[in-house]
Amino acid sequence: MPFPQPPRVRDRLGARLLRVQEGLRKSERLAPGELERTQFRRLEALLDHAVRHVPFYRERASRYGPPRPLDREALQALPIIDRADVQAGGAAFHSLSLPPGHAPAVEVHTSGSTCRPLTGLTTEVTRFQWLALTLREHLWQERDFSLRLASIRPDRLAPGQAQVAFQDWGDPVARIYRTGPAALLSSSAPISEQLNWLRDQQPGYLLSLPSNLRELAIESMNCGTRLTHLRQVRAYGETLTGDTRRICREAWGVDVADVYSSQEVGYIAFQCQAGSYHVQVESCLVEVLDEAGSVCSPGEVGRVVLTPLYNFAMPLIRYSILDYAEVGDPCPCGRTLPTLRRILGRQRNMARRPDGSSFWPSFRQRHGWVWRRSASFNWCKRPWMPSRSAWSWPGNSRPIISPPFLPPLPGLWAGRTGSSSG
Mean pLDDT of 121-134: 96
Question: pLDDT by residue (tens digit) across 283-304?
Answer: 999 999 999 999 999 999 999 9
Measured in residues, the chain has a length of 422
Q: What pLDDT is stored for residue 353 in this prediction?
A: 66
Q: How confident is the model at residue 76 (pLDDT cuts 50, 70, 90)?
A: very high
Q: Does domain 1-362+406-422 have CATH number 3.30.70.260?
A: no
What is residue 47's three-state secondary structure? Answer: helix
Q: Which of 350, 322, 69, 339 is nearest to 194 (CA)?
A: 350
| Confidence (pLDDT) at 137 | 98
Q: In terms of pLDDT, which residue wins out, 397 or 114?
A: 114
Please give the pLDDT value at position 348: 44
φ, ψ (nearest 5 deg) of residue 369: -65, -25
Stretch among 12-16, 225-229, 343-347 having the lowest mean pLDDT: 343-347
Is this prediction's pTM over 0.85?
Answer: no
Rounded to whole angstroms, the Cα distance separating 91 from 310 reads 18
Looking at residue 5, its pLDDT comes to 75
Return the pLDDT at 361.
53
Quote the pLDDT of residue 118. Answer: 85
Q: Where are the domains of the chain?
A: 1-362+406-422
| pLDDT for res 391 | 33
Residue 163: the pLDDT is 92
What's CA 53's distance to the chain center, in Å? 27
pLDDT band at 354 (very low <50, low <70, confident <90, very high): confident
Residue predicted with more confidence, 367 or 201: 201
Cβ atoms within 10 Å, residue 415: 12
How many CB atoms are closer than 10 A to CB 284?
Answer: 25
Report residue 151: phi and psi, to 5°. -120, 135
| Over residues 18-23, mean pLDDT | 96
Residues 19-37, mean pLDDT to the nearest whole number: 95
Is residue 357 exposed (0-12), middle (13-18) or buried (19+ Cβ within 10 Å)? middle
Q: How many CB atoms lie within 10 A of CB 22?
A: 10
Q: Which residue would you say has higher pLDDT here, 382 or 305?
A: 305
Average pLDDT, the chain: 84
State the angle between helix axes of 210-223 and 191-201 in degrees (0 to 180), rounded to the nearest 10: 80
Name all contacts of 412-415 with Cβ < 8 Å and 24+ positions apart. 412/20, 412/23, 412/24, 412/27, 412/282, 413/20, 413/125, 413/128, 413/129, 413/132, 413/283, 413/310, 414/101, 414/125, 415/16, 415/101
